[in-house]
Amino acid sequence: MSVPNDISYWVKDAHLQLTEAQLVCNEANKYITSTLEKLATREDKLPRLIYYLDSTRQQLRLLGIVKDSLDLILNEILDKKTTLKNRINLDMEKLSHSIKLLKSTKIDKSFNRPELTLFEFISEVELNNLFNEINNNLKETDELIKNNRTDALLIRLHSDLDNLNKEFNILDNQFFDSKFDDLNNVDDPVNKLLSINNELEVDMVSILESFNNHYDQCLKGDLIMRNPQIDISEKKQLIDILENDVIELPHVLEFLNNDCEIIIKNCKEITNIIKSFEVFYDKIETFLKDMQKYGELRLTNQLDEFISINSNLNAKLSKSEEYKHSITQYIHDFNSFLVAYYSLILELDRRSTLNNKINNMIDKFQLSLSTLIDDDFSKRIDFLNTNGDFLPQNLIDLNIINKEIPKIDINFQAEELPSLSDECVAQAKKFMNNYHTNQFR
């Protein structure tokens, strides 16, 4: 019987499979051990991180109080500057819109000015000079605040402090969202992954034990097969059992490898989460160093630097008020120009319509008059033919009897008006309708 040879092969194969299973388990255990060590380090750093966050909140609150005390000096003028700048920008948008309308409004060809727009009647040089002066004034106003002696305090006080608050809020929200401090929560991804790994560990231990049992069974089977005193049917039964185990063994090893891969994947995921914690921890430490540098600035000693530019800034703002008035006047003038132009179109159209109506009335009158004259002439002839020979000449002046019909002369001199296009008139009506609608809203 060749079975003993098979058993010997199975023994060697079982040993190889057991060795491979042990290597797989060792690999998984290596990742688990390393991950747990990293988790322990994270738990040691967590209380310090929470302290950093709490103390930083307090420091930022104190810096906010410092900022508020300094802002009392500048708030009024800065608010005025911001409000005026916004109004100028808004008026500039309105003026740009008016200019756009002028540029897009082509003069009707009947005016004998082909390809011209209303904007070409405006002094573009004067406008550009105004725009440049406004931009320069706004820039100079900003420079008075941002540069020179106020740069250190104004930019650091407003920009840096705002940036610090924004940066910290991002970090604080990130800490809240990441739930780094909620280590005992069952919904924590780390706890979930650890729970899965624990279950897989138990499964791997069970599988490794089955490999070990199989190897022991193969050794035992080898001894049984070599013992001539044991019944052959019992040996046959043992062979069948071992053969089934041998067939299943590769699948079991595959399960073990799958468990190991999942554990490694979970450990790497946990490591990534820990890395994100470490990155966050480093960000907090970097932020604290930046806070320390900022806190070392002597903010109160720079208060006089704000006051020193107060008069210059007020002068610039007064100039801005003048520019705003100029822009408003331009808007009014340009809009009035548009209204005047389209009103002119409608007036010319009204006169043209009137001329047509008068001509039509004259034509109708002349037609009616011609009918009356023809009828009268016929009746005069009939009268003379019937009665002329019987009337004495001295009864009535013959000039009255023979007089021709009185002549009627209608002389209407129509105005010489441009022949406006229908499109131009329609556009004028639409514009004026929108103008009146918006005016009375």
Residue 270 has pLDDT above 60, yes or no: yes
Task: Give residue-wise pLDDT tens across range 197-254.
Answer: 999 999 999 999 988 888 888 888 777 777 777 777 677 777 777 777 778 888 888 9
Helix (H, G, I), strand (E, B) or coil at 68: helix
CA 254 – CA 250 distance, rounded (Å): 6
Q: ∠ at Cα 427 (424, 432), nearest 5°?
A: 125
Q: What is the mean pLDDT of residues 396-401?
A: 76
CA 386 – CA 393 distance, rounded (Å): 15
Sequence-ordered list of residues with C-beta below 8 angstroms from that of 31, at least 6 positions apart, any chain = 263, 264, 267, 268
Read off the tokens for 386.
């019937």
For the chain, which residues make up each domain, given as ranges?
3-308, 332-439
Residue 30 has pLDDT above 70, yes or no: yes
CA 111 – CA 421 distance, rounded (Å): 11
Helix (H, G, I), strand (E, B) or coil at 265: helix
Q: What is the mean pLDDT of residues 128-138?
A: 90
Residue 298 has pLDDT above 70, yes or no: no
